[in-house]
Amino acid sequence: MKETTWTEFEDYTEQLMHEEHIAGAAVAVSRDGEIIYANGFGVRDEATQRPVTPETLFGIASISKSFTALVISQLADEGLLCVDDPVVEHLPEFKLCGVQEIRHVKIRHLLSHTTGLPPMKRRQDIELFDAHIDYLAEASYRILGEPGEYFSYCNDAFLLLGAIIERITGQLYRRVMSERILHRLGMDRSTYSLEEVKKFTNVSVPYIYSKEKDSWDTPPWPDLGTYEVGGGVRSNVLDLMKYGQVYVCDGMYEGERIVSAEGIRRMWEPVHRVGRGSHYGFALRVTPEYEGVTLVEHGGGQPGVSSNFGFVPERGIAAAVLTNVTGVPADCIWLAAVNAALGLPLDRQRSEEPHYDASQEELERFIGTYCSKEGGSLRIFSEGGCVRAEANGEVFPVRASDERTLVLVGPKRRNVISFFFDESNRPWAAFAGMRMLRRVPQVV
């Protein structure tokens, strides 16, 4: 097998950026803590045409969740908590609508998005954890199931980990995170503070590509409130390689113990299946059998941010991709970079969805509209005798990969949607974009 070169990777990335309207991207790859590749692509600012460099600061969005999970692991090492503790042991006022046995909700459920809480309306206006705990207790929603029964990405549950960190340490969440991770790892161009972002040089301008105008709109950097627990870090790919060293060196950074080897490995132990061959752990997604190694990663998305970070523990490889455009496939660039480091074809995929010869009747049973209060929506409909899907304003042809799974077939990407069925064998929810979307009752 011919080994992939970094020149081929650069050609691949530039082509993908052109096809996906990505203004700028930065990529870094390290092995055993030593950087083996770092490069910037495109521009960080369309108006000035200033280029992206590996030092360019971007939002990293939900990659930030692993930072929070890492500090939880540190506190567990120190005997200040256990991941099997009921959340109410640390937040006595914690309540969820529809949950009678609140002690059944454990810290591990927050870390793995398995509380049973559905995607909720984001309240980025909430600045204090106490107010967010009240919001969870008072909001109207239907629990998906018992804790641990279903996986559904839920920022609102995850951010309670920040409240636990504050209660245990007696310090502000942001201060704890900066002292325990950013400062200890020398991540000098990383911050939770938008005020600090304004004072840095070489900062990306966030963009949202408009198909109608064939141009980029410029949203403001989001002020996240309590949601910074799951998405508040702004960083660059070189700093993320320092962070990645902790994962590939069993919790060590340049000879200093940051977290126990057991604590760091526990983060990527599979907790719940989220795809064919992939699982979710503690703020990390795991593909255990990828060409003889394990892929561990997490992506992120915010206005003006698409990102992906991860590592291959068996090979000591860490990689990060940061871009300044919403909703673009940073994960595809990331996987291509990892493939290059592993000597694999750039287009090698995490898994392949099989082809299932579904009848028209089988396809039509998926028809319906599925949505969440967070704003996610999916519509499966029949048009001209063909079943199609509408997601994010785009219409896709579909095919089945098994009796409960549809693949949305796009020109460059695929989206896999799993469905859950009730006792009458009718779908009540669709698992799309790592979130459970409930089927909307049909009005007769």
> Which ranges of 178-326 would DSSP assign to H, the alpha helix?
194-199, 228-231, 237-248, 261-266
Q: What is the rounded average pLDDT of the residues 234-255?
A: 98
Contacts of 247 (CB under 8 A, 6+ apart): 264, 296, 311, 313, 318
Q: How far apart are alpha carbons 316 and 314 in whole angstroms?
A: 6
The closest alpha carbon to 72, from 210, 263, 232, belongs to: 263
User: For the segment 49-94, what is each residue's pLDDT rounded down to a tens digit?
Assistant: 999 999 999 999 999 999 999 999 999 999 999 999 999 999 999 9
Contacts of 428 (CB under 8 A, 6+ apart): 420, 421, 422, 438, 439
State the distance between the two ends of the chain, measured CA to CA, in whole angstroms: 59
At 108 the three-state DSSP class reads: helix
User: Six-digit token pair at 315?
Assistant: 């090979």
What pLDDT band is residue 406 in, cutting at 50, 70 and 90? Answer: very high
Looking up tokens 């997604």 gives 285
Residue 223 DSSP symbol: -
Instruction: Return phi, psi of residue 15, to 5°.
Output: -65, -45
Single pTM value for the model = 0.96
Instruction: Return phi, psi of residue 222, to 5°.
Output: -70, 135
**165 pLDDT higher than 90:** yes
Q: How far apart are alpha carbons 236 and 402 in whole angstroms?
A: 40
Q: How far apart are alpha carbons 123 and 126 in whole angstroms?
A: 6
Give the side-chain half-sphere CA count within 13 A for 428. Answer: 8
**362 pLDDT higher than 50:** yes
Domains with residue ranges and CATH for the chain = 1-352 (3.40.710.10), 360-439 (2.40.128.50)
The closest alpha carbon to 38, from 27, 51, 52, 25, belongs to: 27
State residue 80's pLDDT score: 98
Question: Alpha-carbon Rg of the chain, whole angstroms?
Answer: 21
Cα separations in angstroms, 69 against 19, 85, 159, 181, 400:
35, 15, 11, 11, 36
What pLDDT band is residue 2 in, cutting at 50, 70 and 90? Answer: low
Q: How far apart are alpha carbons 136 and 14 in whole angstroms?
A: 44
State residue 444's pLDDT score: 44
* Helices vs strands, H then E, count in the chain: 13, 23
User: Six-digit token pair at 365?
Assistant: 């049973």
- Cα pseudo-dihedral 118, 119, 123, 129, rounded to 10: 50
How many residues does this entry show for the chain?
A: 444
**191 pLDDT higher than 90:** yes
Residue 163 DSSP symbol: H
State residue 70's pLDDT score: 98
Please answer whether residues 353 and 414 qualify as being in contact, where contact means their C-beta atoms are separated by less than 8 angstroms.
Answer: yes
State residue 393's pLDDT score: 82
